[in-house]
Structure 1
């Protein structure tokens, strides 16, 4: 699965009111189901006083993982419409959560479908959509003597990474799948095979 795909460019948010109920749409790009679930959890924690936090995600795995929940709203009035927006826009590796504060007036199933769809649409528009290549993560652990050359390679390749300097130096690297093997080869040869690589 190395072909490109559409995803959101970054975090997006939308806020509006419908007959007294406040809706807040949140979207984020994610790499894994675990990332998506962690984001859903963080929204639920931040908005734990909300009436509903309705999640939906589409994550590239083998096969594509799609999931949504109505979080207490009438069946198929919230999660499915949120997920449908992501599917219709053909965006993947994305998670959406729509927070609702109930305003006292029932919107009916049709009203809910429109509101939840709109919250995701507007949050996606706020984030913007980009073409992305599949990424993978791997770890590199080296002694201090090799850490400078490894860091230099990662910076010259322009890949995302975090470095942790402890007894030894470990790098958590995120790289396009197509470029991963070549990058690992460069690191092996620059450290004469001393770098420990982990998936």
Structure 2
């Protein structure tokens, strides 16, 4: 699971009304379980007057992406009518590192289990469609410190590889590089070879 994964491109919301009840689907990309929890808490605070704020997420729980954490809660709605349908949309679309909260303001008419399942699913689907789906690859940060004589060589390698990086020119030159996890070792090897082992890699 350490390769590419699908997630939402950006935060988005979608809202509609079903028999008087207002539903607002909130979705955003997240990089960790703690980020997902923070997003859920922020929505709960912002919509504290809502009848329900139903959360769900699927997050890669470690750097290698070998463990996928899934979470959903019905938040007071009938069992299986809210959290699971919201999570199911993420599962069916194969989305990871993605958190959703569906806010509901009760409108006075009971929708029944089937109606709730449809409404919570729709809120997530519409929010995801607004956010758009992108393919991401897990990245890592690599620090490369070299003397000035080697800095041009390192910079040209990073540029040719299409890496994102920041360069700090002080007594030595330090490059902070963002590189796909799958390509990190190969990049380190190439830098070591090009600098005859003079580069300090972190």
Question: Unpaired runs of 5+ in structure 1?
Answer: 164-169
1:118 CA drift (Å): 0.2
1:56 CA drift (Å): 0.7
1:30 CA drift (Å): 1.9
Per-residue CA deviations over 1:94-115 (Å, capped at 9, x if unaligned) read 1111111122222121111111
Number of paired residues?
192
Matched, 1:119 2:106: no
Per-residue CA deviations over 1:34-89 (Å, capped at 9, x if unaligned) read 22122112212222222111111112343321110111111111000000111111
1:179 CA drift (Å): 2.7
Query: Match for residue 71 of structure 1?
Result: 75
Instruction: Tell me which moved more, 115-124 or 62-71.
Output: 62-71
Query: Match for residue 139 of structure 2?
Result: 136
Query: Match for residue 34 of structure 2?
Result: 34
Query: Match for residue 4 of structure 1?
Result: 4
Query: Match for residue 45 of structure 2?
Result: 45
TM-score using structure 2 length: 0.74
Give me the whole-angstrom Cα distance separating, in 1, the residues matched to 2:166 and 2:34: 19
Question: Unpaired runs of 5+ in structure 2?
Answer: 168-173
Give me the whole-angstrom Cα distance separating, in 2, the residues matched to 1:18 and 1:93: 29
TM-score using structure 1 length: 0.75
1:120 CA drift (Å): 0.3
Per-residue CA deviations over 1:134-192 (Å, capped at 9, x if unaligned) read x13437497xx9xx9899987876656799xxxxxx99865321233345567788894
Give me the whole-angstrom Cα distance separating, in 2, the residues matched to 1:42 and 1:151: 41
Q: Does structure 2 conserve the Cα–Cα contact (< 8 Å) formed by 1:137 and 1:172? A: no
Query: Match for residue 166 of structure 1?
Result: none
SS in 1 for 2:58: strand
Give me the whole-angstrom Cα distance separating, in 2, the residues matched to 1:185 and 1:158: 16
Summarize the Cα distance change of 1:141–1:179 in structure 2 as closer, same or farther, 3 Å threshold. closer
Runs of 4+ in 1 over 4 A off after TM superposition: 139-142, 148-163, 170-174, 182-195
SS in 2 for 1:71: coil
Query: Match for residue 175 of structure 1?
Result: 179
Q: Does structure 2 conserve the Cα–Cα contact (< 8 Å) formed by 1:20 and 1:105? A: yes
2:111 to 83, 107, 112: 107
Summarize the Cα distance change of 1:102–1:157 in structure 2 as closer, same or farther, 3 Å threshold. farther
